[in-house]
Amino acid sequence: MNPEILLAYLHFLALIGTASLLVSELVLCRPGLQGDALHRLRKVDSAYGAFAAATLLTGGMRLFWGAKGGVYYLANPVFHTKFGLFVAIALLSILPTVRFIGWSKAARRQSGFVPDAAALARVRLLLRVQVLLLTALPLLAAMMARGVTSFR
């Protein structure tokens, strides 16, 4: 198989996994969350991190090994925006990850542990913002794929 097609396929698989796991977090992380659901959420979040890393890796491989070559993307403001949004999503995912680990540990120590309602609401907001930013990435990718090199 043409390596470029294989890389495009792997990038799609990685980003489908990333998006599905992020939405699963939003579904799991809701008021009344406790017990096993807290441990499940921590595991889903680890998988989310792993798929996001695979998205970065396959995206990086398309960047440097794709037909257009690295120079095309590295000088392209559309790519800068795409990469910047990806980094923003990664930064926004730090606090939820810290909370999920803490809640899972607390649930192990104390049966019937329920996360603080305000902290849960903050985490849900951060997850929603990540989903929103994620929806912009395929648009930017489609622009790059069709040779768009500016927003004008």
Stretch of 41-49, 95-103, 107-115, 136-144 lying at the interface with ligand HEM (CB under 6 A): 136-144
Asked if 139 interacts with ligand HEM (CB under 6 A), we say: no
Asked if 75 interacts with ligand HEM (CB under 6 A), we say: no
Q: Site size for ligand HEM, by CB under 6 A?
A: 21
Asked if 141 interacts with ligand HEM (CB under 6 A), we say: yes
| 108: Cα separation from own chain's centroid | 27
Tokens of 147: 């040779």
Are the beta carbons of 7 and 58 closer than 8 angstroms?
yes
Rounded Cα distance between 10 and 16, Å, is: 10
Residue of 21, 29, 41, 86 that binds ligand HEM (CB under 6 A) = 86
Stretch of 29-37, 39-47, 114-122, 142-150 lying at the interface with ligand HEM (CB under 6 A): 142-150
DSSP per-residue letters across 36-103: HHHHHHHHHHHHHHHHHHHHHHHHHHHHHHSTT-HHHHHT-HHHHHHHHHHHHHHHHTHHHHHHHHHH
Q: With CA atoms as reference, report the closest residue to 33 among 91, 104, 94.
A: 104
Tokens of 32: 């009344």
User: Of how many residues is the chain composed?
Assistant: 152
Asked if 49 interacts with ligand HEM (CB under 6 A), we say: no
Site string for ligand HEM, 94-133 (x = CB under 6 A): ----------------------------------------
Asked if 15 interacts with ligand HEM (CB under 6 A), we say: yes
Interacting residues with ligand HEM (CB under 6 A): 11, 15, 18, 55-56, 59-60, 62-63, 66, 68, 73, 83, 86, 134, 137-138, 141-142, 144-145
